[in-house]
Structure 1
Amino acid sequence: MHCYVYILASRRRGTLYIGVTSDIARRVWEHKQGTGSRFATRYGATRLVHVESHGTIDRAIQREKTMKGWPRAWKIRLIESGNPEWDDLYDRVNG
């Protein structure tokens, strides 16, 4: 089973939300519908800008916690290293 750590953004360099899930397509769809989390809904963080796969839920949760502790600049650098235009990756994971 794959588990995913993902980052949503409200816009390029906007509000960031970091989460973990075993079903990335469903979870991001929930965020886009406004039912994913109060924080993401409140700040309009619905654009999937980063996703990474992990082999176990424990590894994914640890990575999520680590990333949440990072300075904002590190999170932006991670996003821009793989997605410099901050494109919404939802269609890629939902295909």
Structure 2
Amino acid sequence: MAFFVYILKCSDGSFYTGHTDNLEQRIGQHQNGYYKGYTYKRRPVECVWSENFSTRYEALEAEKRIKGWTRAKKQALIEGDWELLSLLAKNHRDRR
């Protein structure tokens, strides 16, 4: 069974990150207001990135990690800009 981490772009331009074992169903649930959480008042939503993992644990860990990222870092991931993503990660480590 595959598990997915996904990023939705909300109607207000913000990003929402989650994980699931059924990506199509989960996006539909966000879209139709099934969840009364973050995305409910920010519909419609659009899936702008997803990646699959072999275990729920790996997906959950990736979700937690991405949720802690800056908007710029999430945008670099969405765009597949690995050079910028690496630079942003290094800059974050240097500020500690």
Structure with bigger gyration radius: 2
Partner of 2:39, secondary structure, is helix
Q: CA RMSD in A?
A: 1.8
The alignment's TM-score, normalised by the length of structure 2, stands at 0.77
Distance 1:71 1:45, change over 3 A: farther
Q: Point out 4+ residue stretches in structure 1 off by more than 4 angstroms.
A: none
Partner of 1:25, secondary structure, is helix
Q: Identify which of structures 1 and 2 has the higher relative contact order when contacts are C-alpha pairs closer than 8 Å and 6+ apart.
A: 1
Q: Output the amino acid matched with 1:41.
A: Y
> Any unmatched runs of 5+ in structure 1?
83-95
Q: Which residue of 2 aligns with 1:46?
A: 45
Q: Which residue of 1 aligns with 2:2?
A: 2
Q: Percent identity?
A: 33
Q: How many pairs does the alignment contain?
A: 81
Structure 1 residue 43 displacement after superposition: 2.0
Q: Which residue of 2 aligns with 1:80?
A: 79
Q: C-alpha distance in 1, partners of 2:44/2:77?
A: 17
